Amino acid sequence: MGGGSPARRPIPAKLLAGIEAMGMRATEAFWTAIPPEVARRVRPHVERVGDALITLCANSDALRLNRVIGLGHRGEASEAVIDGIIERYRRHRLRRFSIMLAPGPQSAEIAAWLAERGFARHAGYALLVRDTRRPVAAPRTDLRVTKATRRDAESIVSIHEQCFAGPPSRRPWALAGTFLPGIEQYLAWAGRVPVGVGTLRIEGDLAWFGGGATLTPWRRHGAHAALIAVRLRRAARAGSRWAWVETAEPEPGRPAVSHRNLVRMGFEPACIKSAFVWHAD
């Protein structure tokens, strides 16, 4: 039960560690932005333990919220760290949480420790990487893409809610995180109607692509590819060498449209970030 599958071509360990660290910083920033009225309801907790980041909501059992990322990416994982993480979730009376395990210096060792503690492997995320210096093909679409402004925040969150079934109770949190420092949003338009969205965060050599969503009636119209292309060009202009994105791990019988579009646009599979889920006895 390993921590991830190999890349199609070797991805430098330093690059993988940098991507993991960037993802942790972005996650931490989003959780810091939680509005007081939402915090009182969901009772959030964010903490660094070793080289990992813990996030949890004491009033929710959603694995998307109760999650550990970054464990072992700097080689600082241990059985004691894992036991401490479990104890933190127990203390908040949560009955399940997940650890997202990326390949790294300790991944095989960590996977064995997790198995010994009853963690079960679930579907995880595929990490894809692209060199921004490579040419970007212009996708075929009648839709136009623009960089969003703060006036577009409601439209962006509405698209995400419709595509990802986000609860209205967390809308203030989603709005607060839409334009955090370093975040850029891009919208695909059908006439004057926003139908797709994509997020970009740039940190030096790295550019993160996230939040990709297209309203169902407008899928297969090239919105996703157009949003990818615009962000790739923007990342290249900003001097980022690598673009990276996480999408659902492809599984037999489950459509992987996002993964397929990203590969068509030049992204290459780097690894699988395995999800290991713990359930209380």
- Of residues 87, 155, 137, 144, the one with CA closest to residue 117: 87
Q: How far apart are CA 18 and CA 12, in angstroms?
A: 10
| Model confidence band, residue 171 (pLDDT cutoffs 50, 70, 90) | very high
Closest CA to 176 of 57, 23, 31: 31
What are the tens digits of pLDDT across the range 12-30? Answer: 889 999 999 999 999 999 9
Tokens of 130: 């692209």
144-240: CATH topology: Aminopeptidase (3.40.630)
CATH for 13-128+274-279?
3.40.630
The answer to which of 56-65, 153-162, 249-258 has the lowest mean pLDDT is: 249-258
Q: What are phi and psi of 204, to 5 degrees?
A: 60, -120
Res. 141: pLDDT tops 60: yes
Least confident of 4-8, 188-192, 243-247, 257-261: 4-8
Cα–Cα distance list, 77 to 107, 121, 172 (Å): 9, 18, 35
Q: Do the domains at 13-128+274-279 and 144-240 have one common CATH topology?
A: yes
Q: Which sequence spans correspond to the domains of the chain?
A: 13-128+274-279, 144-240
pLDDT at res. 133: 95
Confidence class of residue 104 from pLDDT cuts 50, 70 and 90?
confident
